[in-house]
A and B are shown apart, each in its own frame.
Chain A
Amino acid sequence: MKKITILVVLILLLGYTLSANEAWSIEIDIGLTGNWSETVNVLDLAGGPGSDLINTYESNADQVSLNISETTINPWTVEIRKSDVNWPIDFHFWLRRTSDGVGSGSIADGSTYLEITDTDQYFFDGSGDRTDIHIQYQLSGVSAATILAGTYSITIYYTVTEGT
């Protein structure tokens, strides 16, 4: 009886160790390279004195690259949201995926411009590790009538979640 009790305790301890051991848990990873900045000035007038600013500004198609790694057999999804400082009410920020990246799994959606908001929203999904997923940004709503000179900061959050 005593031997059985010790054996049960050892088995339960084994189970706890397995659940707590990080070596057994796989954590998906998303990384990002590249950056965008835009300066709006007199050269961006649509037609000289008296004209408005160009309304829309676009980054390079491969301005930013996403890499998703440490995946398992489960599919994953990427959501996006933003936070900003002094963001003009007329500014709208958009992004889209311009490449499938490189990997043996799959990737879908996100190739049409999506306006980023302050809450998480679905961007694209896929499976397996994937590198060099190119992202393009777009800023719209720029007008001399409604804007003040200054610096406007924005942070984009890319959150990848792998299913079970």
Chain B
Amino acid sequence: MSMYNYVVRRVGFMAVTLFFVTLIAFAVTNILPGDVALLILGPNATEQSLEALQTQLGLNRPLYVQYIDWVVGLLQGNMGESLRFGEPVAQLIAERLPRSMMLAVAATLIAVVLSVPLGVYAAVNQNEAPDVSASMFAFVGISMPIFLWGLVFILVFAVWLNLFPTGGYVSPSEDLVGSLTRLVLPAGAMGFALTAYIMRMTRSSMLEVLSEEYINLARAKGMSQRVIVLRHALKNAIIPVITVIAFQFSYAFGGVVVLEEVFFWPGIGRLTLTAIQSRDIPLIQGCILVVALIYMFSNFAADLLYAYFDPRIRYGGDD
């Protein structure tokens, strides 16, 4: 299968998936116990005012009509209005999404800077002390939930060492230094958790490349270990690693829901939690949909990268 056909096929798949995603987001929030009208008006509302509001919000229409209405609205960029904030959902999300993006991007960067050299180092010293300790480090890294790393980082770097603030957010346009100091701990905690996967991948990919014939040839020609590792092996080993990094970005984005709560970071994760706690249905729907979309697209990008670098994937048409 050519790359072009593969992309077309995958986009087709994604459209179908997208349809199911909207269906799930809609269904889940519409079988919520507790009537929306009742939630807005409170328990003391009269029967008449409840009915009036239900009619006004269109809640007494059949579910499929409500669903179609919602999807048509989405296509026009209208995600409804938040019950709690009284503002358009799209606007609330647009305000917070860049903050979450900033966190996820910074975390991924930190992870890459830490893990690639570590992975290369571990591979070069296979089964020796540095390799074993790096592998153990990686294992511990993935065994702790991200929010726990967050708490450990707060405890060590904010409470004990007093190096960074314990949480909060400042816009970079207002105060760049203040913004960055608040970014370090949450991004570091998440980056730390991501390091493990990327390091493992770098290590195994490097090991594979280092056992290739042309590396032996380079050695036989008397090239230095440094040149072989950095110039020849890494260049080829990095390909699968890039794919893993793309997958990790989506993982990071999925993790922000919990991490933002730990660091009082007002991104889309905390917005989702607020929405859930206040049963703000339009906002819950909007948040779920946007997070799922970003998660889906970054996974899609990772798949494309994978297929681009490894043509075998494209031939396995059934998968």
Pairing of A with B: no
